[in-house]
């Protein structure tokens, strides 16, 4: 196994049947772990059916919807306990993250501990977002970098590649946030430990199928969480 790609799902039945083969088709040594939160639309059942003919596909079934951050934590813990994968990815199920970029991450991780796919490294490389969503995202990243001191153009992006050793060093048991703030928190812990964080440019395309999981709760959590990092060192 060259790398494990962790993909959280909740009601992604239409997307999961396409994203899994698209990811696995990038490299014969890639594996995928779907972390499904008991999706009402049967996403987990679809993945289990796909697994019958695909040994590189794995599925972690959770009892219910518990949030993006905890899904990734569960996936990371599974990766560390159940595999010897040297690299572990975060990736969305809805094709907002292009599977063709996985090779770029694997090249960049050779000289880094964490690689972050950036929508704002060279201008703005976001497709099909409404202006209000784009303004929110750009503003959130400026705000987060100022408050936390993170030297990143895209603090909130969710397309990432970790070295195994990086995940082993991160205090995963102390990370409680979701959404935007989850991504900021992981970056902050890595930066605080002096790990090498590299950004590479990606093109982010808004989902064509399914419903966005963004909510006001996720936004406000990010607003306050960055101050918790700054003032209380993540405690």
The mean pLDDT of the chain is: 91
Specify the 3-state DSSP secondary structure of 116.
Answer: strand
Which of 98, 131, 119, 93 shows the shortest CA–CA distance to 210? 93
Segment 89-145, tens digit of pLDDT: 999 999 999 999 999 999 999 999 999 999 999 999 999 888 988 998 899 899 999
Specify the 3-state DSSP secondary structure of 214.
Answer: coil
Question: How far apart, in whole angstroms, are the C-alpha atoms of residue 106 and residue 203?
Answer: 17
Q: Is the pLDDT of residue 42 over 80?
A: yes
């Amino acid at each position: 196994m060259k790398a494990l790609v962790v993909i959280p799902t909740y009601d992604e039945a239409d997307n999961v049947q396409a994203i899994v083969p698209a990811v696995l088709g990038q490299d014969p040594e890639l594996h995928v772990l779907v972390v499904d939160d008991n999706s009402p639309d049967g996403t987990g059942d679809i993945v289990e059916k796909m697994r019958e003919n695909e040994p590189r596909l794995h599925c972690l079934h959770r009892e219910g919807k518990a949030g993006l951050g905890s899904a990734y934590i569960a996936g990371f813990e599974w990766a560390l306990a159940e595999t010897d994968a040297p690299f572990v990815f975060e990736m969305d199920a809805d094709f907002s993250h292009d599977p063709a970029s996985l090779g770029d991450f694997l090249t960049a991780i050779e000289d880094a501990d964490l690689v972050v796919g950036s929508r704002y490294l060279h201008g703005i490389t976001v497709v099909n977002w409404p202006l209000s969503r784009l303004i929110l995202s750009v503003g959130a990243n400026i705000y987060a970098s100022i408050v936390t001191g993170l030297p990143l153009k895209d603090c909130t992006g969710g397309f990432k590649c970790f070295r195994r050793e990086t995940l082993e060093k991160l205090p995963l048991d102390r990370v409680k946030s979701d959404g935007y703030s989850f991504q900021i928190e992981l970056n902050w812990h890595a930066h605080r430990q002096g790990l090498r964080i590299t950004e590479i440019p990606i093109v982010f395309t808004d989902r064509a199928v399914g419903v966005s999981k963004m909510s006001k709760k996720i936004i406000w959590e990010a607003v306050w969480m960055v101050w918790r990092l700054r003032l209380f060192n993540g405690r």
